[in-house]
Chains A and B, each alone.
Chain A
Amino acid sequence: MLFFPVSPATNRFPRHTLLVRVTHWLTVVSFIALLVTGVEILISHPRFYWGEVGNSLTPPLFKIPIPSSRSTVPTGYNYVLPDQNGWSRYLHFEAAWALILTGAVYFISGLRTRHFRRNLFPAPQDRTWAAFRRVIAHHLRLTPASNADDRSYNVLQRSTYLMVVFILFPFVIWTGLAMSPSFNAAFPWSSTVLGGRQSARTLHFLVSVSLVLFLLVHVLMIALTGFVSRTREMITGAAGRSRERT
């Protein structure tokens, strides 16, 4: 197993590079803004459809059982919430730009510094179901995190981060853009290959839910393995826990 004793002088090799730390926190800020405003926008029509079109007169694929900020939506509640869509939409799209630009910087530098290859793609010997089973069994038996876990991600973490970075975030951006009337005028396929605008909206919601699930598990795991030291690692880069031990 990988274990390098870390002396206090090794801050030149931080747990996370400066670029990873800065883009991580920019993503956190953008994502929180997108999540809050996304929920606000959702409240104006908490119904989801499949296909190109859908409205209060067509049967929904599913609906969220909450009141709406519009009186025209049949919700079953006899009151209407205040409309917050103006600033929510402004902030949603501004935060989306922040997320896309941050993501672009992270992606390009990740390729240049081999961040993906070194830290996120599982090592060849870990690309087996047995490796997955081993890590999952470790978690189920509540085995405490080893020192190796301080220095490097295990195969389950690597696969999760790869999925978030290369599948969920690109897909949430795509499904978002596919709803834009000017974007899908310029790129009609962006919407049609998803099954239509309402399918894009439904997928946008479902991918967002997946990202929120990731966020909850991510924060839970950090809390279980030392919230302060893990967070400090992501802020200062200092390899917190290992240093405390040596």
Chain B
Amino acid sequence: MNKISRRKFVKAGFTVTAGVSGLAVAAKLAKRYGLVPPDSGGIYGPGETLTYAAHRIFSRHSLAREFSRSMISKDPFANSIAPLSDDFKRLQSGRFADWRLSVEGMVAQSATLSLSDLKTLPMRSQITEVVCEEGWSYIAEWIGTPLHEVLKALGVLPQARYLVYFSIEPDWWDSIDMDDALHPQTLLVWAMNNGDLPVSFGGPLRLYLPRQLGYKSVKFLTRVRVTDSVKGFVPALDPNSPNYGYSWYAGI
């Protein structure tokens, strides 16, 4: 080993050591500032973590594009859904008068709200796009109660980090972080294009977030839970979920 290569060897050693400890520090900081998604393990973890961290650093509060009324799709595409459960059909036969949304977990006060309760809170209407992971999309006017209005009215506890939300249909649930839960465009949608939200689009109540792909917008919403851990509620990691194997953060 000559002089130059020894110097190179020492230099390379320092570089590697600095690189590894730099990564360790970065990982620790990322965890503290909530930049690590729950599906950060496994071979796809590094890519997912980079994507999620980049969005949480650079675009935490960005707003999804809103469109003019003339851009509303004449032919919105209602994706196929599994046959509806008896529970759903029973409530449907009563015109959803008995539909309830329960809000629970890390809120100062939990609540069970009917659709008309929700409509007494401040509402929001937005003309935004639904983007499916398959590649297709449509624009509609979405009308509903911003989730943050409900959560603020009930008081979110400081340790809250995630929101887990459930459909009335079996095995249909998902979770998002509090940035998306409290985002002004995250709506509890009960109307679409000047009519009640059709069943084919998730009516009577759908949690809709335009900054993520359509599969995060769970249809037939009956329960939301504020929590500090999503353990057990990450569809990407749960073989029972229809979204098993699909990334948890769908903002890309």
Contacts and interface: CB of A to CB of B under 8 A. Distances in A.
B123 to A, nearest CB: 21
Contacts of B139: 52-53
Contact of A91 (B44, B212, B236): B44
B211 A45 contact: no
A196 to B, nearest CB: 9
Contacts of A185: 59, 62-65, 210-211
A179 B133 CA distance: 10
B46 A181 contact: no
A55 B136 contact: yes
B201 interface: no
Contacts of A188: 65
B63 A45 contact: no
A41 B213 CA distance: 14
Most buried by B among A85, A91, A186, A201: A186
Contact of B135 (A41, A95, A180, A191): A41
Interface in A177-200: 179-186, 188, 191-192, 197-198
A182 B252 contact: yes
Interface in B39-75: 43-44, 46-48, 50-51, 55, 58-59, 62-65, 67, 71, 73, 75
Contact of A86 (B55, B58, B245): B245
Contacts of A89: 133, 246-247
A94 B134 contact: no
Contact of A181 (B47, B51, B212): B212
B136 A54 contact: yes
A180 B252 contact: yes
Contacts of A90: 44, 47-48, 245, 247
A57 interface: yes
A4 B19 CA distance: 40
A60 to B, nearest CB: 10
Contacts of A179: 131, 252
A70 B134 contact: yes
B64 A53 contact: no
Interface string B126-168: 0001011111111100000000000000000000000000000
Contacts of A169: none
A82 to B, nearest CB: 12
A93 B51 contact: yes
A133 to B, nearest CB: 42
A87 interface: yes
A57 B138 CA distance: 10
A192 B139 CA distance: 15
22 contacts: A47-B136, A52-B137, A55-B73, A55-B76, A55-B136, A55-B137, A57-B75, A70-B134, A85-B134, A90-B44, A93-B47, A93-B252, A94-B46, A97-B46, A97-B51, A98-B47, A179-B252, A180-B252, A181-B129, A181-B250, A182-B62, A185-B63
The 10 A-B residue pairs with the shortest CB-CB distance in the complex, in nearest-first order: A94-B47, A86-B245, A182-B251, A186-B59, A57-B75, A55-B136, A90-B44, A180-B252, A55-B77, A45-B135
Given A55-B137, A185-B63, A197-B137, 10 more contacts: A45-B136, A52-B137, A55-B138, A85-B246, A86-B244, A86-B245, A93-B51, A97-B46, A181-B64, A181-B210
